[in-house]
Structure 1
Amino acid sequence: MNKDPMQNPKFKRSAVQPEQAQQLIMPYVKQLGTEQVPLTEARGRFLAESVRAPHPYPHFRRSGMDGYALRSEDTRGASTDQPITFEVIDAVPAGSLPNVPLRPGTAARIMTGAKVPDEADAVVMLEMTEKQEQDGRTWMTLKREISAGTNLTPVGRELQAEDLLLEAGRMISAGETTVLATFGYHQVQVRRRPRVAICSTGSELLRVEEPLQDGRIRNSNTYTLACQVQDAGGEPYILEAIADDLQLAKQRVMKALEEYDIVITTGGVSVGDYDIMADLVQGGSLNLLFNKVAMRPGSVTTAAVYKDKLLFALSGNPGACFVGFELFARPAIRGMLGAPDPYLPHMEAVLGQDYDKINNFTRFVRGSLQFKEGKVFVHPAKLDESGVMITIKDSEVLIVIPPTSTGVKAGQLVTAIRLPQGG
């Protein structure tokens, strides 16, 4: 006797809320090991350990101006009517050291960034002085008093020795690189990048380089996901697409789970006769976390665990695949890298136009940002259906539209999730 197909577990799914789905994933997100990389290769990596200043910065008193280093007490009484003249007995370019000690009534010509002589406590800028030369000697005249500390950067003005420079979990970009290079960190201890396998399913898929065929589509999701993995900080590995064959899919996916840190599939998670991923995650080898989320697009988004390895089975629809990654897979990757807050930033914004769709589930609507009159406005994309791909390229935010039976009117405050921008 044939079994009722509607008794198949993939037809009897219990939806979890998006926030609950994220919480179900996070216990399985473990920070990866560490590796040391050259500073030149550290951009975009996450520090595995906190970094402290090995010395104060600056570590010597330096000049903030081109001018003359002198003793401020020697300038007392200087004015337009009573200028004071100093003999210039030394010259200190940046990178050099003073040659002779300053005596009362003497000064040293000095350049920006150069070490200030120990006897000096101020630097007067060049434009405030007049220079004379006579009998092979150089003189400088000053017509105003100079306070101690003028144009002089003291030792440790920015940082003292052992001050915290960068905390563990911080992503390295231009500013962090400046700090690390300044303190001589030419090798950096960072978290290993998660190795993320990406695999599309479906007999309808063509390789990108293949000619178009009637009834078939090119495998674009794989390349979208590879970019998203890189943006999140992982290393993508594109695997060969899997045709609609359950046993083959199981074999490939289980092999990938053994070899990689995370596996992401796209397609085959719905309830159709050939939606093999929906059947695979019910097979007993995997610990199913959820297979339905109360969200649009991507309600069939699925997550499972195998030996502490996460499997994300995302929708084959481009829009749903894109959103599912950003909400669930991206935080997992960032968490494995040690990011203190793995989730995308949220902001409050004004809805720029009516959104009339009625929702039983929360909608994550692709949209754009606008800054106007001191406020942040968000505008839903004109085409935002699950299967639409063209608006992904213009999406700056996901606008969160809660369940509603009336829609949401322009001018209402909504939550917007800021999408990562390439660069």
Structure 2
Amino acid sequence: MREGGESKVPIKIVNEQGERRGRFRRKAIKVAAAQSVVLEAVRACHAKMPVQVIPLHRCGGRYAAERLVATCDWPPFARSGVDGFAVRSGDVALASASKPVSLRLIDSVAAGDRAVTPVLPGTAVRIMTGAMVPPDADAVVMLEQTEDAEAGTGAKVSFKAWGKASHSEGAHGTAIEIKVKHTVQKGQNVAQPGEELQAGAALTEVGMMLRPGHVALLGTFGYSDVPVFARPRVGIFATGSELLAVGERLEPGRIRDSNSAMLAAMAEQSGAEAVLLGRLPDELEAVRSALAEAVKKADIIVTTGGVSVGDYDIMAMLMSELPRYDSRMGEPLEPSNSGSLEMEQDLLLFDRVSMRPGSPTSAARIGGKLLFALSGNPGACFVGFELFVRPAILALQGTSHALPTVVQAELLDGFEKGSPHDRYVRARLIEREGRRYAEPLGFVKSSMMASIPAAEGLVLIPSGSQGASAGQLVDVLLLLP
């Protein structure tokens, strides 16, 4: 019974001749081919998101829309890397703890000062970390490697007490000397101009995710505002009359809709803005209407549930009505820059993928936007997002490496269940003595969610009857933390 007592009639998918249509005749496509179709559809539908210019302190985690470069050499001047004394390295070539070399102190330079006093033979200049190295000095001796000529302790010269009027004399008019107890090589403890970055060096590339380190670099070179791609809006629907809102009390035969919130979190993690659009009813016209409104609000639409072959699977019904995009299905597609994917009409991109879990995962183009219909099973929904939705979100933000990162690891425990499709198994990654291991987690059925929080990667078990044995080298798709 429907809510309110109305009978729920199974959905029948029929064509004009009254024949049952093909939810059972779906053509499976390989994962790599499906991913290529998705990325080509992104190029055909959107290319990239619009560009926004935002304050530097807010650009962390966003994706750069322009190639930004260093505006000068860095460091812009010879800079001391330690607190100590700027010297001529030749003056202290024979210095040692038993035979220190005495140098006359002639000036001091703090960070931010402009160093103008040349270091003449037999002299030194007190210098602080980050300060400009004075002319003719080619090295800096660490403070700990010197001592005051009179006191016999580590040299400590106070800028305030010493003043700027006469750095060559002490309080009583006597010359101040330091003793250097250690030799230094030319250039030691000095960062040379342009040593780290030269003017014109790239700080960001288009599609690069900006991390805190990028923010620091951009600030260093004067970028107070940064061009980034707008965050894609991802509209999320759930299907199924068995679903309750998260805050509702459980009822017999019903479950709470946890997938929508999970998908929203994954979308936000990918740099998108998630928009929860509620639940789709099991009525085709109502679904069409809801999706037509969604394409006005979202750049990508994701549904969860209703994609299998049950009598109430509304998304499968919708997908079956769309004309199919049929270009080299089943074979990995090469990325195309020629616009070979015609996107002027609504199209079914694929409605079955050769994978477990989530083989009914489907994708289409409707109203100029990408629609992903993911499984209602939490584990399959999770895998479908990782393989297809996240790459689409990243591609919209300009990144050229949208697909999951794949590493190799040794399987700690065997996974003996074979499958006619590639299988993606949730796993924990372990590093031991320089080797990477993958430990399959329990509760990995598509309907199970207990192991999702602990998963650090998805182990790919290629299709076949044998599964994979312990010690076997396997590919692992890394999951974002």
TM-score (norm 2): 0.82
Which segment drifts farther, 403-412 or 286-295? 403-412
CA contact (8 A) 1:193 1:233 kept: yes
Partners of 2:23 and 2:54 in 1: CA distance: 45
| Post-superposition offset of 1:343 | 0.9
| 1:135 and 2:172 aligned | yes
Q: Secondary structure at the match of 2:453?
A: helix
Taking a change above 3 Å as real, the CA distance of residues 143 and 239 of structure 1, as seen in their structure-2 partners, is closer
Match of 1:151 among 189, 192, 201: 189
Taking a change above 3 Å as real, the CA distance of residues 113 and 289 of structure 1, as seen in their structure-2 partners, is same
Match of 1:317 among 351, 361, 377: 377
Q: Secondary structure at the match of 1:209?
A: coil
User: 1:390 corresponds to which residue?
Assistant: 450
User: 2:107 corresponds to which residue?
Assistant: 90
User: 1:11 corresponds to which residue?
Assistant: 24
User: 1:276 corresponds to which residue?
Assistant: 314
Deviations 1:48-104 (A, max 9, x none): 111111000000111122111233444466567875433222221222223644444
Give 1:249-260 correspondences, 5 Å limit: 249-260=287-298
User: 1:223 corresponds to which residue?
Assistant: 261
Taking a change above 3 Å as real, the CA distance of residues 413 and 114 of structure 1, as seen in their structure-2 partners, is same
| Post-superposition offset of 1:372 | 2.9
Q: Secondary structure at the match of 1:7?
A: coil
Match of 1:343 among 377, 395, 403: 403
| Post-superposition offset of 1:105 | 3.2
CA contact (8 A) 1:28 1:309 kept: no
Specify the code of the residue in structure 2 equivalent to 1:45: R
Structure holding more strand per residue: 1
Taking a change above 3 Å as real, the CA distance of residues 64 and 358 of structure 1, as seen in their structure-2 partners, is closer
Match of 2:52 among 6, 28, 35: 35
User: 1:116 corresponds to which residue?
Assistant: 133
Give 1:20-419 correspondences, 5 Å limit: 20-29=33-42, 30-75=47-92, 84-98=101-115, 100-131=117-148, 132=150, 135-137=172-174, 138-142=176-180, 146-284=184-322, 286-419=346-479
Taking a change above 3 Å as real, the CA distance of residues 362 and 148 of structure 1, as seen in their structure-2 partners, is closer
Specify the code of the residue in structure 2 equivalent to 1:388: M
Partners of 1:392 and 1:190 in 2: CA distance: 32
CA contact (8 A) 1:58 1:159 kept: yes
Q: Secondary structure at the match of 1:10?
A: coil
| Post-superposition offset of 1:367 | 1.5
Unaligned runs of 5+ in 1: none
Deviations 1:372-392 (A, max 9, x none): 343222122221111111111
Q: Secondary structure at the match of 1:21?
A: helix
Q: Secondary structure at the match of 2:444?
A: coil
Specify the code of the residue in structure 2 equivalent to 1:156: G
Between the two proteins, what is the percent identity of the paired residues? 44
Specify the code of the residue in structure 2 equivalent to 1:86: L
CA contact (8 A) 1:28 1:308 kept: no
Partners of 2:464 and 2:377 in 1: CA distance: 24
The number of residues matched between the two structures is 420
TM-score (norm 1): 0.93
Specify the code of the residue in structure 2 equivalent to 1:68: F
Which segment drifts farther, 66-75 or 208-217? 66-75
Deviations 1:188-209 (A, max 9, x none): 1111111110110111111111
CA contact (8 A) 2:292 2:367 kept: no
Taking a change above 3 Å as real, the CA distance of residues 402 and 62 of structure 1, as seen in their structure-2 partners, is same
Specify the code of the residue in structure 2 equivalent to 1:418: L
CA contact (8 A) 1:201 1:243 kept: yes
Taking a change above 3 Å as real, the CA distance of residues 315 and 120 of structure 1, as seen in their structure-2 partners, is same
Q: Secondary structure at the match of 1:383?
A: coil
| Post-superposition offset of 1:325 | 0.5
